[in-house]
Chains A and B, each alone.
Chain A
């Protein structure tokens, strides 16, 4: 798995959209079937290539959000207003349609289930995608590595996989989920909306003494702020892995 010959990983492959569902009002979960797919490690991404009729083509990266599952995987795409690629993926691409992609790509922002260190995951918005792959892989493999997810969203409507996360927080032993709302908190919430800060990361992440693996993913500004705080809290910078979505 994910050790396929380099030449195989980097070949452009045909991916057929098997299913598409709304994750939130502005994000779609796209499940692809890719013949010959070599498998992936949670945290890795693919490069997607779209080509217009006259041959013009563009590429973008998308993280895989599912656990390894044969030749099938899911991408979670946030619709970026005026975007060149994401609106096409979210609104036009339909089940049965085919696109090209290659991967899996990235060998650093990866959780390996053999690593027993506790894990702190911090997501901003669509940055949940590769972290979801880690949470799902942990469950699929029956891993007991303790996981804590801190997930920052604008409003309750922006939570990706809200039902699944709620269920997993109950059923996946050793998984804690903490949501932070930056614009609007759910009704009856004990806390007003606020930005993710030092206190939350300190309280809901693993302490530096436990030498956890920390994965931070989201928009650049978010990742900068959060990873700076982890360093200030005494975490070894080499254990704080980041993925910036642009």
Chain B
């Protein structure tokens, strides 16, 4: 990787567009760099929306040692759930504040899982995957969410259940989640293989590989 900035780089001196004022948000709204506030809930998906019924739904955690833990839909919704109100940030630049979810903390699901893994590859119905460090899934940072804004989670937004990891860009919050493979070494997921960042911290604007 070459670190010398090309001559045309503008990283030091932004170009000002005369006459451009923009539509500023009120100063008490804090958004990550490059994000804007969305009122609606846009959708980002690489393909058609998978339709998964809850009677076929299953959630599986596989460890690096080949151990397997799984939950049916009924088992999932019988686990202690939390209500989460959080801001979300999509890599396509919109942010949405104060979104309301209900789901099961990954701390609950991982409680009895024995592993030495540092990384997780999250897998979805439809074949999508996304990778993240295991430590970002624990300590009250991540949930398997199955309700949004007081209703069942719709298929467009990842229903019946999606991962919710709101401190990272929202593609990490895998829709139609079906399981987690725990890994000793990081392995890029679907979007990450297509050029998106392996970690994806919106506050450090880690949109693409190399950011």
Contact = CB atoms under 8 A, between A and B. Distances in A.
Interface of A: 5-14, 34-36, 49-53, 55-61, 84, 88, 92-93, 97-100, 105-109, 220, 224, 227-228, 230-231, 237-238, 240-242, 244, 246
B21 interface: yes
Q: Is the interface of A mostly helix, strand, loop or mixed?
A: mixed
Interface stretch (B7-15, B77-85, B105-113): B7-15
A150 to B, nearest CB: 16
Contacts of B21: 52, 56
A16 to B, nearest CB: 10
B72 interface: no
A225 to B, nearest CB: 10
Nearest to B4: A7
B62 interface: no
B6 A242 contact: no
Contacts of B211: 10
A14 B5 CA distance: 13
A43 to B, nearest CB: 11
Contact of A98 (B15, B43, B44): B15
A105 B195 contact: yes
Interface in B184-211: 190-191, 193-195, 208-211
B8 A14 contact: yes
A52 B10 CA distance: 15
Given A84-B36, A98-B15, A60 B93 contact: yes
Contacts of B23: 84
Nearest to A227: B48
B69 interface: no
Contacts of A59: 34, 93
Interface in B45-81: 45-50
A224 B208 contact: no
A152 to B, nearest CB: 17
B17 A99 contact: yes
A35 B8 contact: yes
Nearest to A34: B8
A246 B94 contact: yes
Contacts of A88: 17, 19-20
B29 interface: no
A224 B43 CA distance: 9
Nearest to A242: B47
A13 to B, nearest CB: 5
Contacts of B1: 5-7
A131 to B, nearest CB: 16
A106 B194 contact: yes
Contact of B208 (A6, A35, A55, A238): A6
Nearest to A37: B8
